Chains A and B, each alone.
Chain A
Amino acid sequence: MKKIVDVSLPIGPVHPCFKEPARIKCETAGERVIRTEVELGYVKKGIEKIMIGRPWQEIIFLAERVCGICSVVHNTAIIGALEKISNITVPMRAMYLRIILNELDRMQSHLLANYSYCYTIEHETLAMYLLNLRETVMDAIEIMTGTRIMAAYIVPGGVRTDINREIATKICEALDHIEAELPRFVQMFATGPLIALRSKGIGILSVKDAKESGVVGPTARASGIARDAREHELLYTELGWHMIIRQDGDNFSRIMLRFDELFQSVHIIKNALAVIPEGPVRLGNRITSGRTKHTVEAPRGELTYDVELDENGQVIMISIQTPSIMNVDAGSHAMMKNLSSIADVTSTFISADPCIACAER
């Protein structure tokens, strides 16, 4: 007779499926996972403490280094906070360029998240297709900013450099390539019977659990919670943004929602490139003292910077609330609870797109 053994099983901190170190402690009864606990602290940067006492000219670069995957949105958030404190006006052309870059950043982040998920459920073919497609987006970011990550493209009062017609054409060509290729990959994911077996009905996040842990971004929207910081930005709505939500709250919904948002990002960037106005991309400005809280929609959800500057432009206090903190919390206490197989722990964890670098800012 088969003997069922109850064990406490640790996964990680170093695991082939994890991009960054995290340890998941699983309490099991046979194959069933009763509850899990995520343990962080392996790559703690203490970047908030490093920023305190430094001038704003230094912290805008430090902010980008919170996360290598979504450095653009950290750049956007810190600059947005500084502009809010100092009442700095941004020229319209620069606002369009910021949206284009942020949506490219969202696309590469979503593609990387879905690649990680496919890799975790052992569908390496689809994973590599997605990773290859991500390179097209990374190339577009490089064409636009001059580098793949940490471009420091967004500066107070505008953006660092303008794009010409040639660059706009190259970005459009990259988007055309993605639009041509992506539906095939989405079809593979949506109709794959083995993918459905590993994804549908697995790692369900209920609305109650989602609200308790304050979950944000695609993870929240896949559980039917209509929450996106872009809804407060009029320009996004004008460019065709609308709330995308799904109701099931399982691994499959989270991945499919990111695919849906990829198509929307392509649409937004194309619209922005079609109607981008002429004019300057950067105006004169001066950073003043004050305190503000600024929230932007990062690829993983709401990213909030709470900043206080003194009269010399030095940071008195800063708090960075990254979306991964809430999403990993929800993953730990709700999504991975009562899983029927230990094999689903890593895939469910990855489906929430946890960024450990962000959580351990």
Chain B
Amino acid sequence: MDLIYERNLQPMKLVALKGTRQDQAVLDLATRLGISRQQMRKILIKGCDMMILENLGSRLEAADAASADDAVIDALSLPHLTAATCLLSESAADEFHRRADSGTPISELLAEILEAIT
């Protein structure tokens, strides 16, 4: 949302991400997506609000539980990118899931997902 006297939140968001639990969550998500911690931080700072960043650990735990039963969803980290971090819309996630089911390689979809959230 646009506020007329909005300030730059990047430093505050970075401080939130440097917490022990948040840092571990960033690393876990970066490993899932095959990118560096710095890249992951940049994506999260750009796409998430401050409360999501503060609560990243619990949100990713809930996403882990949600993706535990489905190997495709887990490989694409869809709950992590939709419900947990709101980086990807539900409709886009459904589309990626549908394409994975129809035989598109996971690596190709992951590259597309990365492009979509960057």
Chain A residues at the B interface, C-beta cutoff of 8 Å: 8, 10, 25, 27, 35, 37-41, 44, 46, 48-49, 211-214, 306, 317-319, 321, 325-326, 328-329, 332-333, 359
Contact = CB atoms under 8 A, between A and B. Distances in A.
Instruction: Pick the most buried of B2, B55, B83: most chain A CB atoms within 10 A of its CB.
Output: B55
B49 to A, nearest CB: 5
B39 to A, nearest CB: 23
B50 A39 contact: yes
A333 B55 CA distance: 12
Interface in B61-109: 61-62, 83-84
Contact of B3 (A25, A41, A328): A25
Interface stretch (B15-23, B30-38, B110-118): B15-23
A176 B26 CA distance: 50
Nearest to B9: A39
Nearest to B2: A8
B58 A325 contact: yes
From B5, B49, B50, B83, name the one whose CB has the most chain A CB atoms within 10 angstroms.
B50
B28 interface: no
A130 B84 CA distance: 37
A281 B49 CA distance: 47
B20 A325 contact: no
Interface string B1-17: 11101000100110110
Interface residues of B, number: 27
Given A27-B1, A48-B19, A213 B55 contact: yes
Contacts of B20: 48, 306, 317-319
Nearest to B61: A214
A306 B49 CA distance: 25
Given A37-B49, A213-B59, A329 B1 contact: no
A20 to B, nearest CB: 15
B94 to A, nearest CB: 17
B27 interface: no
Contact of B58 (A321, A333, A359): A321
30 contacts: A8-B1, A27-B1, A35-B1, A37-B50, A37-B51, A38-B51, A40-B12, A41-B9, A49-B18, A211-B62, A212-B62, A213-B59, A214-B62, A306-B21, A318-B20, A319-B20, A319-B21, A319-B24, A321-B21, A321-B58, A325-B54, A326-B55, A328-B55, A329-B55, A329-B59, A332-B49, A332-B51, A333-B51, A333-B52, A359-B54
Given A37-B49, A41-B12, A319-B21, 6 more contacts: A25-B3, A35-B1, A37-B51, A214-B61, A321-B21, A329-B58
A325 B55 contact: yes
Contacts of B19: 48, 319
A27 B2 CA distance: 9
Nearest to A8: B1
Contacts of A306: 20-21
Contacts of B59: 212-214, 329
A8 B3 contact: yes
A212 B51 contact: no
Contacts of A48: 19-20
Nearest to A27: B1
A325 B52 CA distance: 9
Contacts of B58: 213-214, 321, 325-326, 329
A211 B64 CA distance: 13
Nearest to B20: A319
Contacts of B54: 40, 325, 328-329, 359
B1 A25 contact: yes
A196 to B, nearest CB: 29
A345 B50 CA distance: 18
Nearest to B13: A41
